[in-house]
Amino acid sequence: MSEPRKEVTIYDIAEKLNISATTVSRGLQDHPKINDKTKKKILAVAAEMGYRSNPFASSLRTKRGNIIGVIVPRLNSYFMSDVIAGIEKVINESNYNLFISQSLESMKKEISNARAMFNNRVDGLLVSLAYNTDNLDHFEPFITKNIPVIFFDRVQEHLQFPNIFIDNYKAAYQLTSHLIEQSCKRILHIGGSQLRNVYIERYNGYKRALEDHNLPFDDELLIISDLTTQGGQDAGSTILNMEIKPDAVFAANDISAVGCMQFLMDAGMRVPEDIAFAGFNNDPMSSVVRPQLTTIDYKGFEMGEVAAKLLLGHLTDNADLKQTHSLILRSEMIVRDSSKRKG
Amino acid sequence: MSEPRKEVTIYDIAEKLNISATTVSRGLQDHPKINDKTKKKILAVAAEMGYRSNPFASSLRTKRGNIIGVIVPRLNSYFMSDVIAGIEKVINESNYNLFISQSLESMKKEISNARAMFNNRVDGLLVSLAYNTDNLDHFEPFITKNIPVIFFDRVQEHLQFPNIFIDNYKAAYQLTSHLIEQSCKRILHIGGSQLRNVYIERYNGYKRALEDHNLPFDDELLIISDLTTQGGQDAGSTILNMEIKPDAVFAANDISAVGCMQFLMDAGMRVPEDIAFAGFNNDPMSSVVRPQLTTIDYKGFEMGEVAAKLLLGHLTDNADLKQTHSLILRSEMIVRDSSKRKG
DNA sequence: CTGTTAGCGCATTCAG
DNA sequence: CTGAATGCGCTAACAG
Residue B3: pLDDT above 50? no
How remote is the C-alpha of A42 from its chain's centroid? Answer: 42
The structural domain count of chain A equals 2
Domain that holds residue A246: 168-298+332-339
**Predicted confidence (pLDDT) per residue in B321-331, tens digit:** 777 788 999 99
Please give the Cα distance from A69 to B98 (Å, whole number).
Answer: 10
Give me the pLDDT at residue A317, please: 76
Asked if B202 and B191 touch (Cβ cutoff 8 Å), the reply is yes
Residue B179: pLDDT above 70? yes
* C-beta atoms of A80 and B78 within 8 A: no
Q: Is residue B206 part of a domain?
A: yes
Please give the Cα distance from B143 to B149 (Å, whole number).
Answer: 8
Hey, CA dihedral for A110, A112, A116, A122, is it positive or negative?
Answer: positive
Give me the pLDDT at residue B310, please: 95
Single out the residue in B27, B51, B75 at which a domain terminates: B51
pLDDT tier for residue B5 given thresholds of 50, 70 and 90: low
B38 touches chain A (CB under 8 A): no
Q: Is residue A118 part of a domain?
A: no
**Å from A30 (CA) to D14 (C1')?**
21
Cis peptide bond N-terminal to B272, omega within 30: yes
* C-beta atoms of A60 and B54 within 8 A: yes
Please give the Cα distance from A337 to B60 (Å, whole number).
Answer: 60
Give me the pLDDT at residue A339, please: 97
Task: Check if residue A25 sits with its Cβ under 7 angstroms from strand D.
Answer: yes
Name the residue with higher pLDDT: B107 or B4. B107
Average pLDDT over residues B10-21: 91
Per-window interface: A 160-219 vs B, CB < 8 A: none
**Predicted confidence (pLDDT) per residue in B111-151, tens digit:** 999 999 999 999 999 999 999 999 999 999 999 999 999 99
Cα dihedral A299, A301, A302, A308 in deg (nearest 10): 140
Q: Is residue A320 part of a domain?
A: no
Query: Kind of pairing, strands A222-224 and B332-334?
Result: unpaired
pLDDT tier for residue A1 given thresholds of 50, 70 and 90: very low
φ and ψ of A121, to 5 deg: 60, 50
**Predicted confidence (pLDDT) per residue in A84-100, tens digit:** 999 999 999 998 999 99
Cβ contacts (< 8 Å) between B300 and chain A: which residues?
76
User: Exposed e or buried b for every residue in B117-138, given b needs 16+ CB within 10 A?
Assistant: bbebbbbbbbbbbbbebeebeb
Q: Is residue B111 part of a domain?
A: no
Cβ contacts (< 8 Å) between A78 and chain B: which residues?
76, 78, 81
Nucleotide C7: closest residue by CA–C1': A61
For strand D, give the nucleotides within 7 A of a protein CB: 1-5, 7-13
Please give the Cα distance from B311 to B151 (Å, whole number).
Answer: 10
How remote is the C-alpha of A193 from its chain's centroid? Answer: 17
Per-window interface: A 215-274 vs B, CB < 8 A: 229, 255, 258, 262
**Å from A16 (CA) to C2 (C1')?**
16
Cis peptide bond N-terminal to A4, omega within 30: no
| Beta-ladder partners of B70 | B100, B126
Q: Euclidean distance between the first and final Cα of chain A, in Å?
A: 73
pLDDT tier for residue A343 given thresholds of 50, 70 and 90: low
Instruction: Report the percent of chain A where pLDDT is more than 90.
Output: 84
SS (H, E, C) B183-249: CCCCEEEEECCCCCHHHHHHHHHHHHHHHHCCCCCCHHHEEECCCCHHHHHHHHHHHHCCCCCCCEE
CATH of the domain at B288: 3.40.50.2300
User: In terms of DSSP H, where are the helices of chain B?
Assistant: 10-17, 21-28, 36-49, 55-62, 78-92, 107-119, 140-144, 168-181, 197-212, 229-240, 254-266, 285-288, 300-315, 319-323
Chain A residue at shortest CA distance from B110: A92
Could you tell me the pTM of the whole model? 0.93
CB atoms within 10 A of CB B62: 11
Give me the pLDDT at residue A37, please: 86
Please give the Cα distance from B25 to B235 (Å, whole number).
Answer: 64
CATH of the domain at B32: 1.10.260.40
Query: Kind of pairing, strands A248-251 and A276-278?
Result: parallel
Q: Is residue A153 part of a domain?
A: no
pLDDT tier for residue A5 given thresholds of 50, 70 and 90: low
Average pLDDT over residues B281-289: 97
Task: Check if residue B54 sits with its Cβ under 7 angstroms from strand D.
Answer: no
Hey, CA dihedral for B296, B299, B304, B306, is it positive or negative?
Answer: negative
Average pLDDT over residues A160-165: 94
- The amino acid occupying position B248 is A
* C-beta atoms of B82 and A76 within 8 A: yes
Helix or strand (DSSP H, E) at A91: helix A78-92
Q: Is residue B212 part of a domain?
A: yes
Closest partner residue to B288 among A1, A89, A285, by Cβ? A285
Average pLDDT of chain A, as a whole number = 93
Q: Is residue A245 part of a domain?
A: yes
**Predicted confidence (pLDDT) per residue in A28-68, tens digit:** 988 888 888 888 889 999 999 999 999 999 999 999 999 99
Closest partner residue to A55 among B81, B85, B120, by Cβ? B120
Helix or strand (DSSP H, E) at A276: strand A276-278
User: Exposed e or buried b for every residue in A259-280, given b needs 16+ CB within 10 A?
Assistant: bbbbbbbeeebebbeebbbbbb
Footprint of strand C on the protein (CB under 7 A): A 18-23, 26, 32-36, 38, 57, 60-61, 63; B 6-7, 9-11, 21-22, 25-26, 28-29, 51, 53-54, 57-58, 60-62
pLDDT tier for residue B343 given thresholds of 50, 70 and 90: low
Give me the pLDDT at residue B254, please: 98
Please give the Cα distance from B335 to B277 (Å, whole number).
Answer: 10
Name the residue with higher pLDDT: B262 or B319. B262
Q: Looking at residue B64, what DSSP letter applies? A: -
Q: Is residue B293 part of a domain?
A: yes
Residue A322: pLDDT above 80? no
- The amino acid occupying position B127 is V
